[in-house]
Structures are given as C-alpha cells and as structure tokens.
Amino acid sequence: MILQTINLSHRYSASWAIRDINIQIGHTGIVGLLGANGSGKSTTLNIISGTLNQTAGEVIIDGIDLRKHPEEAKKRVGFLPQQLPLYTDLTIDEYLLYSAQLRRIDKQQIRSAMEETKERCGLNHLSSRLIKNLSGGYRQRVGIAQAIIHKPKLVILDEPTNGLDPNQIIEVRKLILGIAQEHSVLLSSHILTEVNLLCKEIVMIESGRVVFSDSMESFANYAQSDSLLLRFENPPSREELLKIAGVEAVELLSPKQMRIRYSGDQAVSDRIVAASVSGNWLLREIGPDNTKLDNIFKQLSSQTAQ
C-alpha cells in the first residue's frame, strides 16, 4: 500500500476542516481527489505531504507512519502545492539543483537526476532560462519537476492545471499521465472534467467529509443516462433521427454532432447504427453523454452528511 489515511481529521480553531478522511492508493496510476473549492482538498493534501500536522487520524506512506517517522515518510513523497514553490530569480538548472540537494539526493547522482527530470518534463532546451521569464505552462512543468526529481513513490498534485490556457492544460495532462506510469499520483481538482479525463479512481469530499470513493466507472453509473452523443460524417436531419424507435428529442451541437434523448432500453444505439448504415450517414462516434456527471457531482454534494 503506497498511501493509507485512517480517519484523518483536522480543525482550525473550533471548526473542523476535514473529518474521517480515508484514502487508499496501492498501485501506480492516478487517484482523483474531487471536491468544490473549500471542501477540504488542500488541507488533506497538506497533511499527507507532511506540511501540516493533523488533529487526529493517521497517514501511512509505503508502510511508514508519517507522524512517527516523518523524515523517512517524506522521502517517498513529491508534492506540488496549488501555489507553485518556485524561486523565480533562479534558472531552471539552479532551482532543480537546489531541489535535489533539499531532497538529499547523493551528490554523485544529482546531475543525472536533473537531466532525467528535465527530459521527462520537456525542459532541456530551457535549462539556463530564468524561471520568472517562463510561461505559466513551463512554470508548472518546473513545479512538477521538483516534485519528481527524487523519484518518490507518491506524487501529490494540488490543482495542477489551474490557471493554464487550453494548450498548456493539454500538455500538462500528458505529462501527468506519463508520470503515472511509474508513480502513484494523488491529484486534486474541483473540475469534474479534469478528474474524468485523468483518473480511474476518485475520492470525492464535500464539507470535509468523503461522500464517494470508488472507480470513475462506478461514479458514472450513478447517472441514469438517457442521452447519447452522436457524430456523423454525413449527418441526417432531425426528422430522420426522430423516426428511430425510442428517440424522443434531438439537439444539434454542431453541423456534424448531435445529442439525442431516448426512452426505453439502450438498444436504441443499435437501431441508430443500423439506420446510419442503411442511410449512409457515416456514423463516426456514439457514446454516453458524460455531461450527466456534473449532475451526479451536484447530487452527491447536496447529500453531504452534516
């Protein structure tokens, strides 16, 4: 087991920020910590990373109790907080050297660790660039680099794509997916789409309590999906789709993409495929409407135990 939290709780003054948070990560891959802003995500991550002492509960990292053996436990953790821990007057090389020394990497291995990390994060061509002169996307890459330079078993990322533009978000997502091939990753976000794209398992917290903990697939199964997204190369008219048994409504999303609402069993998808073949509609994509997940998010949030 790479990470286990047991009834993790913390309060600021008289108010509990989190209560009885239980998380388990036992493999490489990405587990999403999902919750609205103010739900307790950052508090949870700050405790797991060792930057904040919990009021109650335990954090076990790779079999080591964080509170009893903090130095040994922290060696196994890399952390990217929401506010990037960067010294912007340093170059990338200077900052990664500092990070490697801070992580007590053997002096003989520091240079190779830096080069390998820069390669993984796409920073080789910017080694001598001052961090303050980097774009937001590359600053985020430097932040991730300091979190993985010592090859930790657990990498914690707090809102890693927050504030980035769409192209930067895509690049950082690719980087995170690559990291997850070799490390266990705990990623927090308040954006459901982000978690849905990156994570196979999620823990959702609201008002400091866990309201859901399971696979992304199980989360999606909460939806009583009654809509499909369709994309055609040679799209039919709304009237033609409405003639298919079970199709109740058709919404045009773009010239080639539609959302249909249906009733009855899900054999309606088979009938759509058959109609596409006979009508030469050239169906390119058919699948569930995942925007339904937003409704599940809201529903679970409203059911939070008081």
What domains, with CATH codes, occur in the chain?
A: 3-220 (3.40.50.300), 227-288 (3.30.70)
How is residue 205 annotated by DSSP?
E
Q: Quick one: tokens of 85?
A: 């821990």
- Helical packing angle, 92-102 and 136-148, nearest 10°: 30
pTM beyond 0.85: the answer is no
Using DSSP's 3-state secondary structure scheme, residue 99 falls into helix
Residue type present at position 55:
T
| Model pLDDT, residue 72 | 96
CA distance 237 to 204: 41
Cβ–Cβ < 8 Å for 57, 21:
yes
CA distance 92 to 126: 7
CA distance 137 to 50: 26
Q: What angle do CA 23, 29, 34 make, to 5 degrees?
A: 50
For residue 228, the tally of other CB atoms under 10 A from its CB is: 20
Q: What angle do CA 295, 298, 300 make, to 5 degrees?
A: 110
**Sites in the chain below the pLDDT cut of 50:** 223-224, 305-306
Task: Please give the distance of CA 226 from its chain centroid, rounded to a whole number.
Answer: 26
Using DSSP's 3-state secondary structure scheme, residue 47 falls into helix
CA distance 96 to 247: 57
Go through the chain and tell me how many residues it has: 306
| Model pLDDT, residue 305 | 43
Environment class of 186 (CB within 10 Å of its CB; exposed 0-12, middle 13-18, buried 19+)? buried
For residue 123, the tally of other CB atoms under 10 A from its CB is: 21
| Model pLDDT, residue 306 | 43
User: Which runs of E-coded beta strand occur in 51-196?
Assistant: 56-61, 64-65, 77-80, 154-158, 184-189
Which secondary-structure segment (H or E) carries 294? helix 292-302
| Model pLDDT, residue 199 | 92
CA distance 174 to 189: 16
Which residues sit opposite 23 in a β-bridge?
5
